[in-house]
A and B are shown apart, each in its own frame.
Chain A
Amino acid sequence: MNVSRAIVLVEDDEGHALLFMKQLRRRGIRNPIHHFVTGSGALAFLDAPKPALETPQLIVLDINLPDMPGTEVLARISTDPAINAIPVVMLTSSDDQEDARLSFELGCRYYMIKPLHVERFVDVCRDVGYPLSVEPVGGVDTATDGPMGSPSADRET
């Protein structure tokens, strides 16, 4: 049942993107990841016509992007019938209530203030983007701290 559709990650901080991707892999998620550092780059990719099987399975969108606000990218996605069914997780370092309100209005599935530990965020992605392509993993990441850091791949296969 592994369809393995892509995850689109729009994040301008290379460090955050790298940590996020590493953590996804460590947690056994094998979906291809397309990383964009600008909103326009991500939109160009999403707008390009593609077969249904290549439609991304999850979009992770940072609000603070260098070229346009993440909420604007979200607005474009929500008005495009070809892609507005893709679940979107908004990611932000601000707790601006106006951003949160606008994001939910535009149909985002989850709004998350960037946690200090990426593991928590990966949990959210696994839930929102279900079913992601997950492989069971060994005890490689046992050293990660925090309750969310422990492997829980056996929960869903």
Chain B
Amino acid sequence: LSAADASLSQNPDPAEGRWEIGLSALILTGLVVAMTLVIMLGAQSNREITQLKQAERTKFLATDFLLNLRRAESSQRGYLLTGNPEYLRGYNDVITSLPLSLSRLEAATSAEPAQKARLTKIRSHFENKRQEMAATLEKQASGRRIDALAIINSDRGFTEMSMISSDVRSVIAFEENSASHLNNHYVSIYYLSIFVLLLMIVSGFITFYRIVGFIRTNRNYRLVLSESNRKLASLVKSRTAEIARVNDEIQRYAYIVGHDLRGPLVNITGFTAELEQAEVVLARQFEALKATVPSAIDPECLLAVEEEIPEAIRFIKISSARMDRLIAAVLKLSREGRRTVLAEPVDMNALVRDLVDCQAQQIEAANTVVSIGTLPDLFSDRLALELIFGNLIENAVKYLDPARPGRIEILGSVKGDRNLYEIIDNGRGISTADAERVFELFRRAGEPTVPGEGLGLAFVRNAIYRIDGAVTLDSEVGTGTKFTINLPARLEIAEHQRALTA
């Protein structure tokens, strides 16, 4: 049992618990922060993807615009150099769509002030370029080729074109630059995700370890508990057997001693009777002598025969009669102890009523009122119950206070699976000092004004113990006494009680 005690009292180390709680909290916090970051970065990158797409579109629009413008320019130059209107087809294809292209580009970059400024410049250069091209073509068409070539030679168109080209490249460069910034967040999300994953794995391992540990500890505790229960049960069993054995031995011992004392007592009583007979003969002789030769009588002898011997004999007889009663009590107690206890349904109201009726004469003589409440029935040993209630009722009647009318109450109640019975009197009472003593064999409380051997309550307690009950006593000298008997409503005949009868 001591080993089980030790392992049961071994509480988990509180410092270890704190460490684990701290770590778990840290991991949880890390997880929450990392997840929040991932979500925020996800939203951010979502926005960036849109921006990236827009940048790509802007780049495309810008490139497309520049290419088409160059196409228009080279188409214009080809027509001017060759005079072949076939060359004009390229120009005609794009010249009407170019302003539209530019408008789209303006719309795409309108959010960026720097880009917007560039596009304003591009728009004005474009207008110049378009006029330059339109003017040359118009002059060519009207046959003034020299004038047209003069415009081209003025480098006006070239300058406008290089301005536009430079600005468009600036626009593209700007978009590329901003796109290159965006890529870094993806890397962050990537590493953060790996970090979150690692945290989750670590946390998972710790949780798993904790659960396994918990299950193992729990199982160990259960094992220890069931083991200690088993030990306790076997301990109780062996102790009960031990108590039953000792009790059995005491009963047998009382029985044997009782019987062995009785043999010599029969001789004491018998030979005292013989002595008494002899004394009668002697006394007769002395009577005769007194009448005939009184002088021959030794006065000391006369005193012995007439007083001392009869007195001694009287004391021997009283004492041996008392001793006989005491031995009979011991034998009765031992016999009751060895009796087989039998459980049967007992109508307690009828049982108590009968016992009170048995005392009717004494109750009437003592000017006493006995009231019986409703008593719960029992499944128990009838003989023991008769002995218990018979003795207690008899005592209540016997030890009433002659100064006032007697009142005896017998009450019953149910408390769970046990029944309580109370026997209350307004008799002379028992002092606190005597309250425990009265249950002992041959012990009596108070003035011995009423004859008795001090057996009744010893029998009562013995019988109550035999049917698994308990008895308590509340009393006040001069006020009255209350005996409370606590009995199982249903007596289970235990193994040790059966063993006693063997």
Instruction: Give the B-binding residues of A (Cβ under 8 A).
Output: 13, 15-16, 19, 22, 93-95, 114-118, 140-145, 149
Cβ-defined contact, A141 with B270, below 8 A: no
Interface of chain A: mostly helix, strand, loop or mixed: loop
- Please, which residues of chain B bring their CB within 8 A of the CB of A16? 263, 266-267, 270
Stretch in B146-154, B274-282, B475-483 touching the partner: B274-282
Closest approach, in angstroms, between the C-beta of A156 and any C-beta of chain B? 23
Residue B132 interfacial (CB < 8 Å): no
Q: Which of A13, A15, A117, A141 has the most CB of B within 10 A?
A: A15
Q: Check: B259 CB closer than 8 A to any chain A CB.
A: yes
Residues of A within 8 A of B401 (CB): none
The answer to whether B266 and A114 touch across the interface, beta carbons within 8 angstroms, is: yes
A69 to B216, CA, bound (A): 67
Q: Indicate if the CB atoms of B277 and A116 lie closer than 8 Å.
A: no
Interface pair A95/B335, CB less than 8 Å apart: yes
CB atoms of B277 and A144 under 8 A apart = yes
A13–B277 touching, CB < 8 Å: no
In B231-288, the 8 Å CB interface with A consists of 255, 259, 262-263, 265-267, 269-271, 273-274, 276-277, 279-280
Is A145 touching B273 in the complex (CB atoms < 8 A)? yes
Partner of A19, one of B265, B270, B317, B320: B270
Q: Which residues of B286-324 are within 8 A (CB) of A? A: 317, 320-321, 324
**Contact yes or no, A143 B259, CB < 8 A:** no
- The answer to whether B262 and A143 touch across the interface, beta carbons within 8 angstroms, is no
Cβ-defined contact, A114 with B270, below 8 A: no
The 4 closest A-B pairs by CB, nearest first: A15-B267, A19-B270, A143-B280, A93-B259
Query: Which residues of chain B have C-beta atoms less than 8 A from A140's C-beta?
Result: 277
Interface size on B, residues (CB 8 A): 22
B331 part of interface (Cβ distance < 8 Å) = yes
Given the known interface contacts A13-B267, A95-B335, the answer about A19 and B280 at a Cβ–Cβ threshold of 8 Å is: no
Chain B residues in 8 Å Cβ range of A15: 266-267, 270-271
Minimum CB–CB distance for B375 against chain A, Å: 33
In the docked arrangement, what's the CA distance between A93 and B263, Å? Answer: 7
Q: A95-B331, A143-B276 given as contacts; is B265 within 8 A of A116 (CB)? A: yes
Contacts of B335 in A (CB 8 A): 95
B259 in contact with A19 (CB, 8 Å): no
Interface residues of B in 411-433 (CB under 8 A from A): none
Also in contact, A13 and B263, with CB within 8 A (given A19-B270, A143-B276): yes
Q: Contact: B267 with A19, CB < 8 Å?
A: yes
Name B335's closest neighbour in chain A (CB-CB). A95
A117 and B263 within 8 A (CB): no
A65 CB → nearest B CB, Å = 13
List chain B residues, Cβ under 8 A from A141. 277
Across the interface, name the chain A residue whose C-beta is closest to B280. A143
Assess whether A19 is in contact with B262, with CB atoms less than 8 Å apart.
no
B176 to chain A, nearest CB (A): 120
Contact check, B274 vs A19: say whether CB atoms are below 8 A apart. Answer: yes
Using a CB–CB cutoff of 8 Å, the interface residues on chain B facing chain A are 255, 259, 262-263, 265-267, 269-271, 273-274, 276-277, 279-280, 317, 320-321, 324, 331, 335
A sample of 20 more A-B contacts (CB under 8 A), given A15-B267, A143-B277, is A13-B266, A13-B267, A15-B270, A15-B271, A19-B266, A93-B262, A94-B255, A95-B331, A114-B266, A115-B266, A116-B266, A116-B321, A116-B324, A117-B269, A117-B273, A118-B266, A143-B279, A143-B280, A145-B276, A149-B273
Q: How far is the CA of A145 from the CA of B272 in the complex (A)?
A: 11
Q: Which residue of B lies closest to A118 (CB)?
A: B270
Within the complex, the shortest CB–CB distance from A115 to chain B, in Å, comes to: 8
Q: Are B259 and A117 in contact (CB under 8 A)?
A: no
Q: How far is the CA of A142 from the CA of B274 in the complex (A)?
A: 12
Contacts of A117 in B (CB 8 A): 269-270, 273
| Complex A-B: 18 CB contacts under 8 Å | A15-B266, A16-B263, A16-B266, A16-B267, A16-B270, A19-B266, A19-B270, A19-B274, A93-B259, A95-B335, A116-B320, A117-B269, A118-B270, A142-B280, A143-B276, A144-B273, A145-B273, A145-B317
Kindly report which residue of chain A lies nearest to residue B265, judged by CB atoms.
A116
Report B-chain residues with C-beta under 8 Å of the C-beta of A22. 274
Query: In the complex, how many angstroms separate the beta carbon of B134 from the nearest chain A beta carbon?
Result: 148
Nearest residue (CB) in B for A22 is B274
Residues of A within 8 A of B331 (CB): 95
Contact between chains at B271 and A114 (CB < 8 Å): no
Chain A: minimal CB distance from B338 (Å): 10
Q: How far is the CA of A104 from the CA of B320 in the complex (A)?
A: 32
**Chain A residues positioned under 8 Å from B265 (CB to CB):** 116
B259, B262, B320, most chain A CB atoms within 10 A:
B259
Kindly state the separation between the CA atoms of A118 and B271 in the bound complex, as whole angstroms: 10
User: Roughly how many angstroms separate A116 CA and B263 CA in the complex, as a whole number?
Assistant: 9
CB distance from B314 to the nearest CB of A (A): 11
CB distance from A123 to the nearest CB of B (A): 15
Question: Which A residues are in CB contact (< 8 Å) with B263?
Answer: 13, 16, 93, 114
**CB-nearest residue of chain B to A13:** B263
Most chain A CB within a 10 A radius of its CB, from B280, B317, B320: B280
Chain B residue numbers with a CB within 8 Å of A13 are 263, 266-267
What distance in Å separates the Cβ of A19 from its nearest Cβ neighbour in chain B?
Answer: 4
Cα of A115 to Cα of B324 in the assembled complex, Å: 10
Shortest A34–chain B CB gap in Å is: 21
Nearest-neighbor residue (CB-CB) of B276 within chain A: A143
The CA-CA distance from A13 to B271 in the complex, in Å, is 13
Contacting pair A114 B274 (CB below 8 A)? no
When distances are taken between beta carbons in the complex, the residues of chain A under 8 Å from B324 are 116
Name the residue in A94, A95, A116, A142 with the highest tally of chain B Cβ atoms < 10 Å from its Cβ: A116
